[in-house]
Structure 1
Amino acid sequence: MIDSRAIGIDVGGTSIKAVIADRRDGRVLLERRTPTPSPDPDGRGVCATVARLADDLPDARDLPLGVVVPGIVDESRGRAILSANLGWRELELAAMLRESCGRPLALGHDVRAAALAEARWGAAADGDGVLAFVPIGTGIAAAILVDGHPLVSDGWAGEIGQELLADGPFAGRRVEEVASAAAIARRAGEPDAQRVAARVAAGDPVAARVWDGAVDVLATALAHLALVVAPRTVVIGGGLALAGDTLLHPLASRLRDRLGGIRVPDVRAAVLGDRAGALGAALIAGGSS
């Protein structure tokens, strides 16, 4: 019988998550987490931590391994081109990880991997065609799947959070400086965006103004994305997805207003939570997605 298990490791800005997952149904069979080494400009601390996590997983030495990281990642060349959160630039990361782990592995991008997992087992498992997965947390990015295949463009595809706003009250700022979960919390004076969402639901006018501005900016960014790649489904992930209908209802409405007669994507909340990246890493392990 073929072993359907694989190891997926998701390197985040604050923690590294490792799972053993069953690739038939996405079940997490085992999970481990550890803090991400920081600072780590040469990537060696992360490579050593990934190797230790993989080695500590029981009965897993012969399982295929996938590792995903944030930033600009060119999977075809095995390079981490840029990661502002981790301080990396132009690292031959796949080769470094293989040397540290002493085994073959697949390198991927955290957001594209999470999109694969949501498309296989999560919020978009009933769909096909073009999917956009948009996690909204510390920053904002998008992963675009076309019939299940990620759009990579040498690692640069999907950086919608970096769009510079040309007009309106936030002119001169970037999308993620206004509409990310971290930006919303900061502008409302709260520790996280969920607190802001709770204040909005309770009718707080100050929180509502912050929220309204963020939803406007996010709807504009998603409209631009929809006009170019026409996704059937947009899955919202990250911390802001926990706001549920407080976010999804006004976002879908304003997106519809901006698109006029153009097809409006179905906007949904992600369902796999912060395991999505690690599950996607397990999917790409051994070259399978």
Structure 2
Amino acid sequence: MSTDVDIAADTSFESSAAHALAPTSGASTSPVALAVDLGGTAMKGAVVAEGGAVVAELTRPTPGSDILDALVTLFHDLRGIAGDAEVVGAGVATPGMLDEQHGIVHYASNLDWRDVPLLDILQRELRLPVAVGHDVRAAGLAERTFGAAQGSDDFVLVPIGTGVAAALVTAGGTITGATGAAGEFGHIPVIPGGEPCTCGQRGCLEVYMSGAGVARRYREAGGSPLSTRRIVARLGSDPLADRVWGEAVAVLAQGLTILTLLLDPKVIVLGGGVSHAGDALFGPLEHAVSAGLAWRERPEIVRSGLGGDAGRVGAGLLAFTAAR
């Protein structure tokens, strides 16, 4: 695996280096799908086997313009590194508000997209069956099929990175909402009259608990300009880090308590870079959620089983469904 350029956000706990992993010689000719997890920072591509294994991967920075051209090029390059395998379809997981049935991205702020007919464009360019899905919901599908929520019909996946969102699964069905915007967990206003959010509201969860939010609040309170990972490393020796992180965990616990009372999930899966904080996150979070749920047991809270691969594995699963 070769590393070309570091595209990881400074607030992430994970390394997201751009790289390509080519298939080994004599690769299987079993059916595969081309999959891309499209984000504002990176386009994480993969050749995915039907069993969920990533056969080959290719990740590139998301350009500031001409994103559609770059996305099509990435798909063509993935097809090139698929070797002799039979490519049966392609799938893309994208952020934003979208009509998944018709593959139209109505709004994606990270990509500066409005009403982009992504499905039609990709079908025309790739000449393959194509699926378009929401990035977090696709990741939830992958976690349910192969990851930490495997076999569960009632769970939530909450990726915590630069921002925060949620995939909501109840009675085996994924909640999408009337406009396709269900799961904006980071924009639940949990602190009345709290700090302003870029969305225009005040007191949103991700203002306090997100990679960007923790780093910003620490800096604005007089701390050094550190990443969230480095702030967590200072816990126990830096009172400001202790305070900012403690407030972040408390806000997340409040949000998960509300979510639990609304949906009654069996398991809560935490993903994204911040989930790598380990005991500094899970210990106090579990205690706070248990305390908030005075009359009932809290759900199990676990870390994502697929990590950064969840989105593209989910896109691959959608592609196989489209190919049938």
Same topology, TM > 0.5: yes
Q: Does 1:253 align with 2:267?
A: no
Alignment match of 1:143 (pick from 141, 148, 167): 167
Distance 1:150 1:57, change over 3 A: farther
C-alpha separation in 1, matches of 2:135 and 2:226:
24
Letter in 2 for 1:29: V
Residue pair 1:135, 1:142 contacting (<8 A) in 2 also: yes
Question: Which residue of structure 2 aligns with residue 71 of structure 1?
Answer: 96
Q: How does 1:169-180 map to 2 (within 5 A)?
A: 170=195, 172-180=202-210
Distance 1:147 1:66, change over 3 A: farther
Q: Deviations over 1:211-243 (max 9, x none)?
A: 011111111111111111111100000010110
Distance 1:230 1:2, change over 3 A: farther
| Unaligned residue ranges in structure 2 (runs of 5+) | 1-27, 197-201, 220-224
C-alpha separation in 2, matches of 1:47 and 1:5:
19
C-alpha separation in 1, matches of 2:45 and 2:156:
25
Residue pair 2:155, 2:266 contacting (<8 A) in 1 also: yes
SS in 1 for 2:98: strand
**Which 10-residue stretch deviates more, 166-175 or 154-163?**
166-175
Q: Does 1:116 align with 2:159?
A: no
C-alpha separation in 2, matches of 1:227 and 1:128:
18
Letter in 2 for 1:66: G
C-alpha separation in 2, matches of 1:162 and 1:169:
12
Question: Which residue of structure 2 aligns with residue 215 of structure 1?
Answer: 249
Question: Which residue of structure 1 aligns with residue 218 of structure 2?
Answer: 188
SS in 2 for 1:94: helix
Q: Deviations over 1:29-66 (max 9, x none)?
A: 111111212135xx533443344334333335633211
Residue pair 1:74, 1:152 contacting (<8 A) in 2 also: no
TM-score (norm 1): 0.90
Question: Which residue of structure 2 aligns with residue 33 of structure 1?
Answer: 59
C-alpha separation in 2, matches of 1:22 and 1:39:
31
| Unaligned residue ranges in structure 1 (runs of 5+) | none
* 1:77 positional shift: 2.5
* 1:98 positional shift: 1.6
Q: Deviations over 1:47-101 (max 9, x none)?
A: 4334433433333563321111112222122111221111112222111222222
Q: How does 1:118-137 map to 2 (within 5 A)?
A: 118-125=143-150, 127-137=151-161
Question: Which residue of structure 2 aligns with residue 52 of structure 1?
Answer: 76
C-alpha separation in 1, matches of 2:245 and 2:162:
16
Residue pair 1:230, 1:263 contacting (<8 A) in 2 also: no
C-alpha separation in 2, matches of 1:61 and 1:175:
44
C-alpha separation in 2, matches of 1:210 and 1:117:
32
Letter in 1 for 2:30: D
Alignment match of 1:5 (pick from 29, 32, 41): 32
Residue pair 1:236, 1:267 contacting (<8 A) in 2 also: yes
C-alpha separation in 2, matches of 1:90 and 1:222:
32
Letter in 2 for 1:56: G
* 1:168 positional shift: 7.5
C-alpha separation in 1, matches of 2:140 and 2:77:
24
SS in 1 for 2:120: helix
Residue pair 2:156, 2:166 contacting (<8 A) in 1 also: yes
Question: Which residue of structure 2 aligns with residue 93 of structure 1?
Answer: 118
* 1:208 positional shift: 0.7
Q: Pick the structure with more helix per residue.
A: 1
RMSD: 2.3
Q: Deviations over 1:125-150 (max 9, x none)?
A: 2x423110000001100001235432
Distance 1:243 1:214, change over 3 A: same
**Which 10-residue stretch deviates more, 82-91 or 230-239?**
82-91
Aligned residues: 284
Letter in 2 for 1:70: P
* 1:210 positional shift: 0.4
SS in 1 for 2:105: strand
Residue pair 2:47, 2:82 contacting (<8 A) in 1 also: no
Residue pair 1:116, 1:148 contacting (<8 A) in 2 also: no
Question: Which residue of structure 1 aligns with residue 234 of structure 2?
Answer: 199
C-alpha separation in 2, matches of 1:236 and 1:84:
23
SS in 1 for 2:55: strand
* 1:181 positional shift: 1.3
Alignment match of 1:160 (pick from 185, 188, 195): 185
SS in 1 for 2:259: helix
